[in-house]
Each structure stands twice: as structure tokens, then as C-alpha cells.
């Protein structure tokens, strides 16, 4: 379970006369103090990334070159995400009173990720049981189980043992159910003038967590054009299919996601076997992963796969639990949602 992060938030306001200093929290977070930009930069320059088996198009060297150019022009530090939303060296003038914010880590270095903030980081619970499995008994469960199993076959054929690329591509799918479920519960809450029991937030958290898995793997591999096309097509089909399934039977939809997560655990276990066998090079962990999971600065790809796999196990539990609630004739709002369950 996450411990909320210690950080000093300094908001420098472009046109504000009294800069606000927001509060400090407590606790230690080694990841926050460990990932120095210089280290990340060194890694980006020198990392051999994945072994040939895993290689998609490599991106780190390209990113490094781009960042060096940007730094030369803009004079600012930071990584890829830091540049999102504006040009380096410039701040968007705002007379709307919306200040650009600058965050710092405990060691005073810049917080360089716009896509997540220090208080959203956490330490993964690696003690979770990875072997838990919901035995399908009812027709609906068996339908969900075999639907997922049948989806695995083409995935195995397409990716074979390129687990890095496979992980990246599968995360593009895994981030959909939480968003669809959360969106539909949101609309339902509005329609019925009733609370959601926290499930909207819990499911959107899951979607965000899955998207962070994708952002992490994007740091080490880049999809080729036909893989991007595949994601485009699969997302179009899967989003709509899951949307309809969730409308028709949330019980079935959550069970399908539960089994998808079980498959994800299996995939990452195979990934770890390849790493341990030396078939995939155990390179340094991406800086984004070190900050997001508060990993030690010397963490490796193996450490990242471990925490991602633990996340998948938590998603498995949440979705099977959600399906079970429906099986008991209740609605999700009748049972408090596992918000912050990582």
C-alpha cells in the first residue's frame, strides 16, 4: 500500500505576486531522491536496451539526441514528459490564474514528470499471491475464461518470445477496461443521482496505472508502423466490444478483465524467465519507472517487471472481486471500492 510521498511543492507563479509554498508531508521515498537526471541521461546514452529478440525500434538514443538539442535551444533540464505542453525555456502566460507548477524531490532536484505527480507514486506490494486463480464454474465465467484464452493464441503467434514488445502492446489493451468501466459508472451515477461507492475512482486509477505501464515500456522500445496500426485496430474493436459487454453484463466484463490480468501475470513471469536466462538484457530501469514505483536508483528492468507484475495481480483481485459483487446480486456501489489498492 502506498505511503504518501514527502515532497515540497513550490509553485512559481508567472504573474503572481505572492508565491505560495504548499505543505510538506512526511515519510521516506528512496525513489524520489535517487533518480538524478544525470544518471538517467547517462543511462539513456549508454543503455544497450533489449537483446535482439526483444528489439523493436530502439528509441533511447534518439530521445537523448532530441533532449540535447532542446536543452541547447531552451536551456532547461528535464525529460521527455517535461517538455509536453509547452516549449522549454518558455512559460505560458496565464491571466486565468492557472500557474505553471514546479515540483521538487526531497533532494531538491526537479520533478520532471508532468504525467504523474509525487503523491501519485507508490511502492508496489510484491508480497501479493501471484498464483491465485478464479476457477470458472458458471457458464458466464467459462465464457469469460475461454474468451481470454482464445485471445492469447494470436498474441502468442504474433509476438512469440518478444516479451518487451508484447508487454508494451498488451498494455495498450489493458488500460481500456478501467476507463470504460469507470466512464459507464460515472454516467450511471449521474443518471441515477446516486454515489458510486468509490468504484469510478478505483477503476480510473486502474486505467491510469496501466497507462503508466505503457509509458514505462515506451521508454525501452518503440513500436513499428505496423504495430501502431495493430494497436489502432485492436483498440477500435476492443473498446467497443468491452463497452457493449459492460453495458450488457458488468459481471461478465469484470470477469473477463480478471482473466486478462491473470494472463498478464503469466506474460510477465515469462518475461522474468527470459531476463534470468540472459535472453533479454537486464538494462537499467527507465527513470520514469524509478520515480513512479519509488525504486532504488540502481534498479534494473527486472525490478520494473516485478513491480508491474505485482500491479497486474492487484488488478486481477479488484476485477474478480467486482464480478463477485455482481454475482451476489449486489451492485458495486454497495461495497466500498478498493481505492489506492496497488
State the nearest-atom distance from the C-beta of 255 to Fe ion, in Å: 14
Stretch that binds Fe ion, among 57-65, 108-116, 276-284, 304-312 (CB under 5 A): 304-312
Q: Rank residues 103 and 167 by Cβ distance to Fe ion and give the closer one.
A: 167
Tell me the sheet residues that pair with 104: 8, 110
Q: Rank residues 70 and 311 by Cβ distance to Fe ion and give the closer one.
A: 311
Is 106 in contact with 7 (CB distance < 8 Å)?
yes
| Position 312 contacts Fe ion (CB under 5 A) | yes
The correct pick among 315, 320, 333, 342 for binding Fe ion (CB under 5 A) is 315
Is 142 in contact with 136 (CB distance < 8 Å)?
yes
State the nearest-atom distance from the C-beta of 261 to Fe ion, in Å: 5
Interface with Fe ion: number of residues (CB under 5 A): 7
Distance CA 7, CA 27 (A): 9
The correct pick among 162, 213, 254, 333 for binding Fe ion (CB under 5 A) is 213
Stretch that binds Fe ion, among 39-47, 59-67, 289-297, 315-323 (CB under 5 A): 315-323
Cβ neighbours, 10 Å, residue 251: 20
DSSP 138: S
Binding mask 249-268 vs Fe ion (x if CB under 5 A, - otherwise)?
------------x-------
Sheet holding 102-104, edge to edge: 21-24, 8-10, 102-104
Q: Which of 316, 233, 319, 212 lies closest to 267, judged by CA?
A: 316
Stretch that binds Fe ion, among 124-132, 177-185, 203-211, 244-252 (CB under 5 A): 203-211
The correct pick among 64, 205, 210, 219 for binding Fe ion (CB under 5 A) is 210
Residue whose C-alpha cell is 507508490: 122
Q: Rank residues 284 and 315 by Cβ distance to Fe ion and give the closer one.
A: 315
State the nearest-atom distance from the C-beta of 308 to Fe ion, in Å: 6
Q: Rank residues 197 and 258 by Cβ distance to Fe ion and give the closer one.
A: 258
What does each C-alpha distance from 266 to 66, 114, 141, 262, 272 come to in angstroms?
36, 31, 19, 6, 10
Is 68 in contact with 45 (CB distance < 8 Å)?
no
State the nearest-atom distance from the C-beta of 210 to Fe ion, in Å: 4
Q: Which residues have C-beta within 8 Å of that of residue 168, sequence separation ≥ 6?
A: 56, 214, 217, 218, 221, 223
What's phi and psi for 99, nearest 5 deg? -85, 145
Q: Rank residues 35 and 265 by Cβ distance to Fe ion and give the closer one.
A: 265
Q: Rank residues 40 and 212 by Cβ distance to Fe ion and give the closer one.
A: 212
Residue nearest to Fe ion (CB): 315
Q: Rank residues 141 and 261 by Cβ distance to Fe ion and give the closer one.
A: 261
The three grid cell numbers given for residue 152, joined into one nine-digit string: 492469447
Q: In the window 155-174, what residues touch Fe ion (CB under 5 A)? A: 171, 174
Binding site for Fe ion (CB under 5 A): 171, 174, 210, 213, 261, 312, 315
Amino acid at each position: 500500500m502506498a505511503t504518501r510521498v514527502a515532497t515540497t511543492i513550490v509553485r512559481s507563479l508567472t504573474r503572481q505576486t505572492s508565491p505560495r509554498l504548499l505543505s510538506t508531508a512526511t515519510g521516506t521515498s528512496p525513489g524520489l531522491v535517487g533518480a538524478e537526471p544525470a544518471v538517467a541521461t547517462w543511462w539513456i546514452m549508454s543503455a544497450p536496451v533489449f537483446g535482439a529478440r526483444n528489439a523493436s525500434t530502439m528509441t533511447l538514443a534518439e530521445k537523448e539526441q532530441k533532449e540535447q538539442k532542446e536543452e541547447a535551444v531552451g536551456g532547461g533540464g528535464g525529460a521527455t514528459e517535461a517538455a509536453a505542453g509547452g516549449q522549454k525555456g518558455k512559460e505560458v502566460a496565464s491571466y486565468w490564474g492557472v500557474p505553471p507548477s514546479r515540483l521538487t524531490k526531497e533532494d531538491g532536484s526537479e520533478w520532471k514528470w508532468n504525467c504523474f505527480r509525487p503523491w501519485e507514486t507508490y511502492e508496489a506490494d510484491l508480497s501479493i499471491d501471484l498464483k491465485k486463480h478464479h476457477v470458472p464454474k458458471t457458464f458466464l465465467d467459462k465464457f469469460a475464461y475461454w474468451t481470454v484464452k482464445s485471445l492469447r493464441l494470436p498474441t502468442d503467434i504474433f509476438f512469440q518470445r518478444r516479451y518487451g514488445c508484447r508487454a508494451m502492446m498488451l498494455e495498450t489493451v489493458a488500460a481500456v477496461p478501467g476507463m470504460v468501466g469507470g466512464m459507464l459508472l460515472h454516467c450511471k451515477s449521474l443518471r441515477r443521482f446516486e454515489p458510486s461507492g468509490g468504484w469510478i475512482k478505483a477503476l480510473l486509477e486502474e486505467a491510469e496505472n496501466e497507462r503508466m505501464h505503457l509509458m514505462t515500456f515506451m521508454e525501452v522500445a518503440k513500436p513499428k508502423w505496423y504495430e501502431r496500426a495493430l494497436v489502432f485496430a485492436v483498440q477500435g474493436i476492443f473498446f467497443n466490444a468491452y463497452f457493449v459487454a459492460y453495458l450488457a453484463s458488468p459481471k461478465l466484463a469484470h470477469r473477463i478483465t480478471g482473466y486478462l490480468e491473470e494472463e498478464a501475470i503469466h506474460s510477465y513471469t515469462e518475461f522474468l524467465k527470459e531476463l534470468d536466462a540472459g535472453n533479454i538484457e537486464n538494462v537499467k530501469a527507465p527513470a520514469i519507472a524509478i520515480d513512479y514505483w519509488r525504486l532504488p536508483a540502481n534498479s534494473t528492468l527486472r525490478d520494473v517487471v516485478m513491480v508491474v507484475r505485482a500491479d497486474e495481480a492487484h488488478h486481477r483481485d479488484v476485477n474478480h472481486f467486482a464480478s463477485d459483487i455482481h454475482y451476489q446480486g449486489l451492485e458495486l456501489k454497495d461495497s466500498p471500492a478498493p481505492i489506492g489498492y496497488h
